[in-house]
Amino acid sequence: KSSFFEEERLHYLALLVRSNRDVVASLGECGLDGAELEYCPYEIQERYFRRQVELAERLMLPLFLHSRDCGMRFVETLGPLWDSKALNGVVHSFTGDDEELDALLSMGLCIGLNGSAFRTEESAKRSILKIPVDRLMLETDAPWCDIRKDNFSFQFVKTNFPTVKKEKLKTDLLS
């Protein structure tokens, strides 16, 4: 059973989208995050995720999807809602296993990869070799999922930008 607050928030989200259709390209980022369970348990994440998927279908918008550290639970939550041909989208920052990847690809989803997918040679090869080129999206997800010096993929990076830790930046601004 949904609360008034839940209905009000979803109504407001729909209103924002409808009044800004000229600039809204997708609905999201929405999904499940197993790394943030202390802040929001799966049951709440799943309830809102289902409602956001239903809203995207009604608004005929693709989804920008988030699946972190939840494995097949993400697929099991999304699967029953995905029967409609009206739904499409991308699972961004994908780092799941082969079972999850196969399930998402069979649903017709695109897969977004960033520095997180290329930490090891094994994960890089698995990701690149399994995802069809027409369903592969390369992304930065900056500044969180960068390619770091100790990553397998760092050897292929041709352009580097200097980075500064947040604490150092604050200190420099105060000087």
Closest CA to 144 of 39, 27, 33: 33
- Four-residue CA torsion sign, 141, 144, 148, 152: negative
Pair of tokens at residue 38: 């202390």
Identify the three-state secondary structure at position 98.
helix
Contact 116, 145 (CB under 8 A): yes
Alpha-carbon distance values, 130 to 5, 85, 94, 139 (Å):
42, 23, 13, 17
CA distance 30 to 54: 12
> Could you report the per-residue pLDDT of 19-30, keeping only the tens digit for each?
999 999 999 999
Residue with tokens 């809204």: 24
- Mean pLDDT, range 37-49, rounded to an integer: 95
Is the per-residue pLDDT at 100 higher than 70?
Answer: yes
For 107, the token pair is: 């649903």
pTM of the model: 0.82
- In tens, the pLDDT along 49-66 reads 999 999 999 999 999 999
Cis peptide before 143 (omega within 30 of 0): yes
Report the percent of the chain where pLDDT is more than 70. Answer: 89
Residue 171 dihedral angles phi and psi, to the nearest 5° = -65, -45
Give the per-residue pLDDT at 170: 62
